Amino acid sequence: MRLRMRMNTFLSALALPLALAACGAGSSSSGSSNGTPVQSSVNLALVGPVGYSWTNAVFGAGGYISGIVYHPTVQGLVYARADVGGVYRRDPGSSTWIPVNDGLSHDDNQLEGSVSLALDPNDSQKLYLAAGMYTQSWGRTAAILRSSDRGATWSRTELSIRLGGNSDGRGSGERLQVDPNKGNILFLGTNQDGLYKSTDAGVTWAQVPGFPTTAGTTFVVFDKSSSALGTATKNLYVGVASTTGSALYRSTDGGATWSGVTGGPRGLMPLQGALDGNGHLLMSYANALGPNGVTAGGVYKLTLTSNRWANITPVAPTSSWTFGYGGLAVDPRNANSVVVSTLDRWGGGDDLFKSTDGGTTWTGLNAISTHAAPNNPWVAAYYGGSLAGHMGHWISDVNIDPFNSNNIMYNTGYGLWESNNLGSASVAWSFNDSGIEESGLYSPLVSPSSGAHLFSALGDVSGARYDTDFTIASGYYGPTPNNSNYSVDVADLNTNVAARTTASGNGLMLSQDNGVTWTASPTSPVASTSSDSGHIAVSANGATLLWVPGSQSAYVSTNNGASWTASTGYPVTQSVWSGQYTAPVADKVAGSYFYAYDMTKGTIIESADGGLNFSTIYTGLDILPSYASQSQLASVPGTVRRDLWLATPNGLWHINGANASPVKLADVQAATGVGFGMAATGQTYPAVYISGKINNVWGIYQSIDGGTTWAQINDAAHQWGGVNYVTGDMRVFGRVYLGALRGGVMIGNPL
């Protein structure tokens, strides 16, 4: 899910980008009349510096915040990590979160997922990330990212193993830790390769040979009191992701040797651990890593000197009410003050429990809590609907401010909540996620010629329309907000008509007022409450809807959804989740024309009769494998019929009108998205924007002359792990909207 509030503004450094000379839009490209593809020739040149400022189209979080860490010695310095969307920092005295690794490139996008982050308690400038998204063989190998300026700049150490920032267990405890007594020593608990150690501040790493298992780990805890400052900490504890045998290991010689701690609960694994300063190690337990699949768990206290265990579980799960425990926090200022969270308790929502006597008695916080998100309409909709009376879901982490016992944060699958009155009889929570943008786009962004400036379709939380104020998603879609939207489209010549596909109801919502209000389509060719409702295209004049549900062919409606007619000649496309789903595209000029790119055959099909019949008009385009990354076919507004651009992982194509052949632009090696904006002064053709790779450099490129020259408009600090979708604004020259891979929508404006 997501967030909103004040926009962060980043001023990009001026760069000297490359320009690419190609086949221009002003002349018809050569080629045979049957649409034989033509390869263009190019000449490289340099153009002047291009500077851009970058802001968020504010929505608000919208993704899984998998971990929160307060700095133990700097009041107000806090970090939050996301499973796929990078890491954020909140500075002392600030209420806004700052993304710290938006400089990761498209090729390094899997490093946006961090399985853990570590702070040096004796040097507040240092920050370490254990980065890597997937543990499968196809995942990128992991890296340790190191910063000596709180994430402003980074150094990197590549690892030979994989880490799972977006794998099961990503919400367990911090398994990358800095020795609190000797900062050049770090330990890293991995997902599937045991324990690693660095003795040079994270520059080099080696597997700890004495660690008894190569199983996955869940947390690393140093007992600072076991050594003096300047000397390596002797006592360490590591949780292991195992429900059989030993699930907790201890070292008393700085990690040289290890022994299993006996006597723990059977059939469970510890997810988080914390020392209370009074000789106890407290741990939350579950029978699976989570955040899903947990059916049992508890909370236990281990007295370290006697190895005596105590079950201090607030509420035990039952066979009819299954859940485990995930989040765990001990107040650094009061060892008897403890907060824990349930995990995967879907029936009534997760809860937090607070104890002021070390776990002897507990108070459930849900019953005494209120939640407010006045700046986040989508969150307010949730708390007026399906989340009413609930704390949230996927609560796997909770942390208490080391300087203020009343200040506390907890995570959810859609953002984080913060309270400043934990000690009160009624606890008030605020959605303090300003600057965090994690919402994931499921289809191209739409910027119509009139009405709202921007429409988005988002996973989990529907999406939003933006008028001129991008600081709040005031046009959050209703009336069914808690679902994924797979596409949105607006009629270019009649922008009052809009449509979007959803994962609820009959799968399609319609608007006759530019997306201000929405109603369900009267009928539907897909099953009720379909979770694979595919994509919708709206004809330029708004008279025709072309709907391609997942795993089905296409359907046409000319009466605003009152009835549907099956198309002929449209391929039975795969699931909307498939890389080879065939999405429909409406011509932006001619109301009866629709297109689609069939990547399995390398063809473009066209309908000239409002989507009723399709036939192949071009062959010989890029054929993509089933695992290929995203491609996009787009129609240019305000030009001529069949003015199409095609972005694929193999390059960029242009079809400049009904009598033109497809031209592939040389030296554009790959493109994930293409879109159009207002023409530059002195130009008649709309500005073209791509997210692509030119001369081996991934970036956001702009052409103001129909593809003859290209200029990169982002810089090394603004890459967001790559960009899937890009489009310009047809009413504001130079403004560009991006669907960042790390999540959220970015807005670029020329300086």
Q: In 3D, which of 44, 197, 40 has the Cα closest to residue 118?
A: 197
Query: How would residue 47 be classed by pLDDT, with cut points 50, 70 and 90?
Result: very low
Joined together, the tokens standing for residue 242 give: 């195992």
Q: How far apart are CA 414 and CA 439, in angstroms?
A: 9
Q: What is the pLDDT of residues 465-505, one digit of tens each?
A: 999 889 877 788 876 666 889 999 999 999 999 999 998 88
Calculate mean pLDDT across residues 181-187.
Answer: 98
Q: Which residues contact 656 (CB under 8 A, 6 or more apart)?
A: 23, 25, 27, 28, 29, 643, 663, 706
Answer for the pair 686, 675: CB distance below 8 angstroms, yes or no.
no
* Model pLDDT, residue 368: 97
* Model pLDDT, residue 481: 62
Query: How would residue 381 be classed by pLDDT, with cut points 50, 70 and 90?
Result: confident
Q: In 3D, which of 498, 501, 490 has the Cα closest to residue 525?
A: 501
How far is the CA of 204 from the CAs of 156, 187, 196, 577, in angstroms? 10, 11, 10, 39
Q: How far apart are CA 367 and CA 346, in angstroms?
A: 16
* Model pLDDT, residue 478: 72
Answer for the pair 652, 667: CB distance below 8 angstroms, yes or no.
no
Report which DSSP code applies to 550.
T
Task: Supply the CATH number for residue 135's domain.
Answer: 2.130.10.10
Asked if the peptide bond before residue 291 counts as cis, ω within 30 degrees of 0, the response is yes
Q: How far apart are CA 634 and CA 617, in angstroms?
A: 16
Would you say the C-alpha torsion 200, 203, 204, 207 has a positive or negative sign?
positive
Q: Is the pLDDT of residue 450 over 60?
A: yes
Q: Which helix (H) or strand (E) holds 378?
A: helix 377-383
CA 744 to chain centre: 7
Rg (CA), the chain: 27
Q: Percent of the chain, pLDDT > 70?
A: 92
Query: Is 513 tagged catalytic?
Result: no
The full DSSP string for 39-70 is E----EEE---B-EEEEEE---BBS-EEEEEE
Model pTM greater than 0.95? no
Residue 303 lies in a domain: yes
Residue 225 lies in a domain: yes
* Model pLDDT, residue 377: 86
Answer for the pair 115, 162: CB distance below 8 angstroms, yes or no.
no
* Model pLDDT, residue 370: 94
Q: In 3D, which of 188, 195, 192, 162 has the Cα closest to residue 174?
A: 188
Q: What angle do CA 83, 85, 91 make, to 5 degrees?
A: 105
* Catalytic choice (83, 102, 344, 715): 83
* Catalytic choice (120, 276, 433, 460): 460
Q: What is the pLDDT of residues 227-281, one digit of tens each?
A: 999 999 999 999 999 999 999 999 999 999 999 999 999 999 999 999 999 999 9
* Model pLDDT, residue 30: 33
Q: In 3D, which of 533, 496, 502 has the Cα closest to residue 515?
A: 496
Query: Is 83 tagged catalytic?
Result: yes
* Model pLDDT, residue 25: 39
Report which DSSP code applies to 265.
P
* Model pLDDT, residue 36: 63
* Model pLDDT, residue 384: 74
Alpha helices in 541-699 (DSSP H): none
No. of helices (H) and no. of strands (E), the chain: 1, 60
Residue range of the domain that includes 271: 67-94+107-365+393-402
**Sole residue written with tokens 């107000």:** 76
Q: Is the pLDDT of residue 11 over 50?
A: no
Q: How far apart are CA 672 and CA 741, in angstroms?
A: 11
Calculate mean pLDDT across residues 391-419.
Answer: 97
Region for residue 175 given its phi and psi (left: phi exceeds 0; alpha: psi -120 to 50; beta: otherwise): alpha
* Model pLDDT, residue 194: 96
Report which DSSP code applies to 110.
G
Residue 676 lies in a domain: no
Answer for the pair 25, 652: CB distance below 8 angstroms, yes or no.
no
Q: In 3D, which of 122, 111, 199, 124 has the Cα closest to residue 159?
A: 111
* Model pLDDT, residue 23: 37
Query: How would residue 12 be classed by pLDDT, with cut points 50, 70 and 90?
Result: very low
Determine the residue type at 398: V
Q: Are strands 427-430 and 369-372 parallel, antiparallel or unpaired?
A: parallel
Report which DSSP code applies to 383.
H
Q: Is the pLDDT of residue 530 over 80?
A: no
Residue 443 lies in a domain: no
Report which DSSP code applies to 2.
B
Phi, psi values for residue 532, rounded to 5°: -140, 60
Q: Percent of the chain, pLDDT > 90?
A: 82
Calculate mean pLDDT across residues 438-456.
Answer: 95
Range of lowest pLDDT (73-82, 522-531, 585-594): 522-531
Residue 112 lies in a domain: yes
How far is the CA of 330 from the CAs of 252, 271, 323, 369, in angstroms? 23, 15, 22, 20
Q: How far apart are CA 674 and CA 248, in angstroms?
A: 51
Q: How many CB atoms lie within 10 A of CB 35?
A: 20
Calculate mean pLDDT across residues 345-350.
Answer: 87
* Model pLDDT, residue 38: 63
Determine the residue type at 694: I
Q: Is the pLDDT of residue 651 over 60?
A: yes
Q: In 3D, which of 446, 317, 339 has the Cα closest to residue 391?
A: 339
Residue 162 lies in a domain: yes
Query: How would residue 68 be classed by pLDDT, with cut points 50, 70 and 90?
Result: very high
Joined together, the tokens standing for residue 593 give: 């024309």
* Model pLDDT, residue 527: 65
Residue 76 lies in a domain: yes
Q: Domain total for the chain?
A: 1
* Model pLDDT, residue 550: 87
How much is the mean pLDDT over the chain? 91
Q: How far apart are CA 397 and CA 412, in angstroms?
A: 8
Range of lowest pLDDT (151-160, 408-417, 520-529): 520-529
Query: How would residue 531 be classed by pLDDT, with cut points 50, 70 and 90?
Result: low
Q: How far apart are CA 232 and CA 180, in angstroms?
A: 8
Calculate mean pLDDT across residues 4-15.
Answer: 27
* Model pLDDT, residue 40: 57
